[in-house]
């Protein structure tokens, strides 16, 4: 006799998970004082309307466009230089924090030695510390150390993003198939050679995609840090807002949108070339 019971056996676990999720989410909503109804009040809509209307038309006079080009190039320079410094710290840190090149893991069927774990934990702790402090906090610190300007933004991005990149790179190295690298290590190959020929070809596309994404995030971060005096588009947006120049703010926001779109297209192009 056929079983005609069409009930989903996972229905009760899913319902329980949903109830638990709502029970955990509700206190967070209460603590955040979230009230979407405020957006639909007449006073709020009127104030938002006046604020947005000041953005039109975008500023496009020659003097402002020259300033805009300079600020845009400075923002790109901050993000790119910060990422370059972050990579110099993140790449060696990720290799030290990862088990991918562990000789003991290669010779013991994937079981790392106690010494290797004791050496990796301090590196992982440093990476946790670097990425746990927001870049804007580092920017505030460096603005006081080196003064106003893009140098503070470069250093802030370098420190924060080295922690982010180092962590994710290490996880990418460990998540790929370790057998090619371990086979090279067991055959007497050096660690860097085993990494270059056994691990890197399998993770190059993922590494590049994440790096370009982080570069895009660095562009956004450099704009935010400009509000604390770290140069670039953010500092110019802050000045224009203070002078109630909505047209200038609109032009800079459109430029920022164009930068993000270009970064996204660059990421797609690089992924396509590697796949």
Residue that wins the pLDDT comparison between 103 and 253: 253
Residue 55 has pLDDT above 60, yes or no: yes
The predicted-structure confidence for 60-92, as pLDDT tens digits, reads as follows 788 888 888 888 888 888 889 999 999 999 988
Q: How far apart are CA 47 and CA 236, in angstroms?
A: 23
Q: How far apart are CA 223 and CA 237, in angstroms?
A: 9
Residue 113 has pLDDT above 70, yes or no: no
Mind giving me the DSSP string for 182-225? HHHHHTT--HHHHIIIIIHHHHHHHHHHHHHHHHHHHHHHHHHH
Q: How far apart are CA 80 and CA 230, in angstroms?
A: 15
C-alpha dihedral (73, 220, 255, 148), degrees to nearest 10: -50
The predicted-structure confidence for 146-195, as pLDDT tens digits, reads as follows 887 888 888 999 999 999 999 899 888 888 777 777 777 777 777 777 77
Residue with tokens 């150390």: 145
101: which residues sit within 8 A by CB, 6+ positions away? Answer: 95, 181, 185, 191, 194, 195, 199
Q: How far apart are CA 238 and CA 13, in angstroms?
A: 50
Q: Is residue 214 part of a domain?
A: yes
The predicted-structure confidence for 188-247, as pLDDT tens digits, reads as follows 777 777 777 877 788 888 888 888 888 888 888 888 888 877 777 888 888 888 887 778
Reported confidence tier of residue 8, pLDDT bands at 50, 70, 90: low
Q: Is residue 114 part of a domain?
A: yes
Handedness of CA 161, 167, 169, 172 (dihedral sign): negative
Domain count, the chain: 1
CATH at 249: 1.10.3720.10
Q: What is the pTM of this model?
A: 0.76
CB half-sphere exposure, 37, CA atoms < 13 A: 2
Q: How far apart are CA 39 and CA 200, in angstroms?
A: 50
Print the domain residue range for 269.
Answer: 62-274
């Amino acid at each position: 006799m056929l079983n005609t019971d069409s009930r989903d056996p996972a229905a009760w676990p899913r319902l329980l998970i949903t109830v638990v999720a709502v029970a955990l989410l509700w206190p967070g909503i209460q603590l955040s004082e979230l009230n979407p109804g405020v957006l639909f009040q007449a006073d709020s809509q009127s104030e938002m309307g006046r604020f947005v209307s000041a953005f039109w038309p975008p500023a496009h006079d020659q003097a402002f466009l020259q300033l805009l080009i300079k600020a845009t190039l400075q923002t790109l320079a901050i993000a790119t230089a910060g990422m370059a410094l972050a990579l110099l710290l993140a790449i060696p840190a990720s290799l030290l924090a990862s088990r991918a090149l562990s000789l003991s893991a290669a010779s013991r069927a994937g079981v790392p030695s106690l010494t290797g774990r004791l050496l990796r934990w301090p590196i992982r702790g440093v990476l946790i510390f670097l990425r746990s402090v927001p870049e804007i906090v580092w920017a505030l610190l460096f603005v006081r150390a080196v003064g106003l300007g893009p140098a503070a933004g470069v250093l802030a991005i370098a420190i924060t993003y080295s922690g982010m990149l180092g962590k994710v790179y290490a996880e990418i190295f460990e998540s790929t198939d370790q057998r090619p690298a371990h086979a090279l290590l067991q055959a007497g190959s050096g660690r860097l050679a085993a990494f270059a020929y056994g691990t890197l070809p399998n993770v190059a596309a993922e590494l590049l995609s994440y790096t370009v994404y982080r570069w895009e995030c660095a562009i956004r971060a450099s704009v935010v840090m400009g509000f604390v005096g770290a140069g670039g588009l953010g500092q110019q947006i802050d000045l224009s807002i203070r002078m109630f120049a909505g047209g200038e703010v609109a032009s800079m926001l459109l430029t920022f949108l164009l930068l993000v779109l270009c970064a996204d297209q660059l990421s797609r192009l690089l992924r396509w070339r590697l796949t």
